[in-house]
Chain A
Amino acid sequence: MMTDLNKLTIAEARDALRKGDVTSAELTEACLTQIEGAGALNAFVHDTSDIAREQAAAADTRIKAGDAPDLCGIPLGIKDLFCTRGVPSQAASGILEGFRPEYESTVTQNLFDAGAVMLGKLNMDEFAMGSSNETSVYGDVVNPWKVDDRQLTPGGSSGGSAAAVAADLCLGATGTDTGGSIRQPAAFTGITGIKPTYGRCSRWGIVAFASSLDQAGPMARTVRDCAIMLEAMCGHDPKDSTSADIPVPDFEALLNGDIKGKVIGIPREYRMDGMPDEIETLWADGTAMLKDAGAEIRDISLPHTKYALPAYYVIAPAEASSNLARYDGVRYGHRARLEQGDGITEMYEKTRAEGFGDEVKRRVMVGTYVLSAGFYDAYYNRARKVRTLIKRDFEQVFDAGVDAILTPATPSAAFGLGEMANADPVQMYLNDVFTVTVNLAGLPGISVPAGLDKQGLPLGLQLIGRPWDEGDLLNTGYALEQAAGFVAKPEKWW
């Protein structure tokens, strides 16, 4: 038997499974053993090992029969935001305590149809609202990367997914990205994650945060693994009216690393005041790598970049306040204990006060405010107009012949858990400054690990692609990955 099965890439595991060198049962057990020993990371929060073993056995039968899609028998972690039938799906919120969906999200169904194995549900920020995984009802996720006494954040909101993949607890994981929730944690943990074009993945059965921005995507150890997972996750779904009815290419087949003649845009507005030198250097290095690989580098301007975060912090809370109105203590989840004489309004107010955490309450109320009579035009409509301008910035650049845009993924490396506790909420929001534009414009974006900072923590670069051209974006990411040659792994301390 091969050793360290949990450390294989998805592509390696697929090939080994097909050759009969390993079984899904063995791969799955190897991961379950690692998960058991990784309680200190707090990445997995709901154990589905029984389901995993059944799925692995079924996958092995399927592989023997010669009917094996790429993901058949591959053990994955599933973010708690995805509804999984009969399995707790809480979006890391107290208000969904005890909720066991009667249905399966389309994305997880697609993965299971392809033969994937679900190891368990992964921790995250509550309702995907956060950039440090400190808002979860299950407690903080700890980044497997460690350089001193501090425990570091894995980023958020898909922090459990990022930590689990980086610590080799699973071969890949699902994430979701509303403002950077796949790409920022991927960068903080030295892994790869792609948010596809809005509409690529069905949102059906994914607990909604901001419906015009939310997209699911894969988080894995390599660009190739992301290509394999993404292909299985996406596709048209009649249950999500915004899911695109267009063909899904064989993303993996498009990976040849050839980017000769591609035009890579370097947006001057992403050079932020106070940006650490190391981020600046990493960005310059990444630019040089793409140039050496034959790409043409072009300075570009995306003039409304500065307004993306403020627009996001109107639009996302507005949509959240509407989406989260469903948590009322009637149909599922938590209901507050009522006093004699309490009516339905008290039930709503007490249930929501008890069930939601502070950040979720804050965003729901900000959303309520910007949508309220008298402020709707000043805040919400203005933000939607600015969003039109942000999208137009990208359209103009792509129309001028740019194939992809290179930016840093985050303004810093992973910071310590608790370090932002006394900062005002806006300080935390700045984590998403490079990623949020992509959600507002509905574009695909990939984060690729590209280097270590001087403390020894991973840093990522982001590539932004044309809408529906994930294939080309993944290939540019693949070229960057090969040039950067990032192979560092966290040393096991947990």
Chain B
Amino acid sequence: MSIDKDTAAKVAKLARIRVEDDALSALAQEFNDILGFIEQLNEVDVEGIEPMTSVTPMRLKRREDVVTEGGMTDRVLSNAPDAREGFFAVPKVVE
């Protein structure tokens, strides 16, 4: 499996990271180095083996479905690059 420039561009788009065109070839090469390393996993016989979902067998705890903390809009928004009138502000999403 070899990754070309177009695939690298597609992955960057999916990851929402802008990559300039002139950097795509080098990025594709890095992907290939890493994926080439990962390919070793194909040597392992995994027939009948369950994929791990939890490294320590434990049942997740349940709790009452109630508000535990809340009513602190100012603190929630205090680190926002742009917050107005009690909301996070972003560029226009719908034309």
Cβ contacts B56-95/A at 8 Å (1 or 0 each): 1010110100000000100110111110000010111100
B52 → chain A, closest Cβ, in Å?
Answer: 4
B residues engaging A (CB < 8 A)?
A: 3, 8, 11-19, 27, 30-31, 33-35, 37-44, 46, 49-56, 58, 60-61, 63, 72, 75-76, 78-82, 88, 90-93
Q: Is the CB of A310 within 8 A of B38?
A: yes
- Within the complex, what minimum Cβ distance (angstroms) separates B94 from chain A? 10
Provide the residues of chain A in CB contact with B37, threshold 8 Å.
309-310, 313, 426, 429
Select the stretch in A56-64, A69-77, A345-353, A452-460 that faces chain B: A345-353
Tell me whether A347 and B55 are in contact (CB under 8 A): no
Given contacts A385-B49, A388-B50, contact A212 B55 (CB under 8 A): yes
Beyond A102-B79, A389-B46, 18 extra complex contacts between A and B, CB < 8 Å: A304-B44, A331-B79, A331-B88, A335-B81, A343-B92, A345-B16, A348-B16, A349-B13, A349-B16, A350-B18, A352-B18, A353-B19, A361-B15, A379-B41, A385-B49, A425-B30, A429-B37, A441-B55
Q: Is the CB of B16 within 8 A of A442?
A: no
Partner of B41, one of A100, A238, A311, A325: A311
Q: Is A391 an interface residue (CB 8 A)?
A: yes
Whether A238 lies near B61 (C-beta < 8 A) is: yes
Overall SS of chain B's interface: loop
Instruction: Please tell me if the beta carbons of B15 and A347 are within 8 angstroms of each other in the complex.
Output: no
Contact B79–A425 (Cβ < 8 Å):
no
Residues of A within 8 A of B11 (CB): 365, 368-369, 372
Decide: B88 and A306 in contact? CB cutoff 8 A.
no
Q: Which residue of A lies closest to B45 (CB)?
A: A389
* Given A349-B16, A389-B49, A244-B78 contact (CB < 8 Å): no
Nearest B-chain residue to A102, judged by Cβ: B75
Chain A residues within an 8 Å CB radius of B42: 382
- Which of B13, B17, B46, B49 contacts A356, CB < 8 Å? B17
Output the least CB separation between A406 and chain B (Å): 22
Residues of A within 8 A of B12 (CB): 365
Residues in A with CB closer than 8 Å to B80 are: 330-332
Q: Nearest chain A CB to B24's CB is how many angstroms away? A: 11
Q: Give the Cβ gap from A431 to chain B, nearest Cβ, in Å.
A: 14
Interface residues of A (CB under 8 A from B): 98-102, 197-199, 212, 238, 241-242, 244-245, 304, 306-307, 309-311, 313-314, 321, 325, 328-335, 338, 342-350, 352-353, 356, 361-362, 364-366, 368-370, 372, 379, 381-389, 391, 424-426, 429, 440-442, 467
Q: Determine the chain B residues whose CB is within 8 A of the CB of A467 once the complex forms.
A: 56
In the assembled complex, 15 residue pairs joining A and B whose CB atoms fall closer than 8 Å, in A order, are A99-B79, A241-B60, A244-B58, A310-B40, A329-B81, A347-B90, A352-B16, A365-B17, A370-B38, A379-B38, A382-B46, A385-B52, A391-B55, A424-B33, A425-B33
Is the pair B63, A238 in contact by a Cβ cutoff of 8 Å?
Answer: yes
B92 and A364 within 8 A (CB): no
Judge whether A365 and B31 touch: CB under 8 Å: yes
Given A311-B41, A365-B27, A389-B49, A353 and B17 touching (CB < 8 A)? yes
When the two chains form their complex, are residues B58 and A199 in contact, meaning their CB atoms are under 8 A apart? yes
**Is the CB–CB distance between A343 and B93 below 8 Å?**
yes
Closest chain B residue, CB of each to CB of A379:
B38
User: B residues within 8 A CB of A330?
Assistant: 80-81, 88, 90
Please determine whether B34 and A366 come into contact, CB atoms closer than 8 angstroms: yes
- The CA-CA distance from A100 to B3 in the complex, in Å, is 39
Contacts of A350 in B (CB 8 A): 18
**Does the CB pair A362–B30 fall under 8 Å?**
yes
User: Given A314-B41, A329-B81, A332-B79, are A385 and B51 neighbors across the interface (CB < 8 Å)?
Assistant: yes
Contact assessment for A344 and B44 in the assembled complex, using a CB-CB cutoff below 8 Å: no
The answer to whether A383 touches B41 (Cβ under 8 A) is yes
Do A307 and B40 contact each other (CB < 8 Å), given the known contacts A245-B61, A347-B90, A361-B17?
A: yes
CB-CB under 8 A from A364, the residues of chain B are 15, 17
Report the minimum CB–CB distance from A315 to chain B (whole Å): 9
User: Which residues of chain B come closer than 8 Å to A347, judged between CB atoms?
Assistant: 90-91
Q: Name the A residues within 8 Å of B19 (CB-CB).
A: 353, 361
Complex: chain A residue closest to B88, CB-CB: A330
- Smallest beta-carbon distance A26→chain B, Å: 36
A354 to chain B, nearest CB (A): 9
Check if A368 sits within 8 Å of B49, measured CB to CB. no
Nearest-Cβ distance from residue A302 to partner chain B, whole angstroms: 14
Residue in B17, B30, B81, B90 whose Cβ sees the most chain A Cβ within 10 Å: B17
Q: A331-B88, A338-B91, A388-B52 are in contact. Are A425 and B34 (CB under 8 A)?
A: yes
Q: Please give, as numbers and ranges, the residues of chain A lying within 8 Å of B13 by CB-CB distance.
A: 349
Chain B proximity of A89: nearest CB distance (Å): 10
Give Cα A476–Cα B81 distance, bound, in whole angstroms. 50
Residue among A197, A245, A330 with most chain B CB within 10 A? A330
* Contact of A426 with B49 in the complex, beta carbons under 8 Å: no
Q: Which residues on the B side are within 8 Å of A313 (C-beta)?
A: 34, 37-38
**A489 to B90 Cα, complex, angstroms:** 53
Who on chain A is nearest to B19 by CB? A353
Chain A nearest CB from B56 CB (Å) reads 5
Contact A368 B46 (CB under 8 A): no
Q: Are B41 and A307 in contact (CB under 8 A)?
A: yes
For the complex formed, measure the closest distance between the CB of A401 and the CB atoms of chain B, giving whole angstroms: 21
- Tell me, rounded to whole Å, the shortest Cβ–Cβ distance linking B69 to chain A: 9
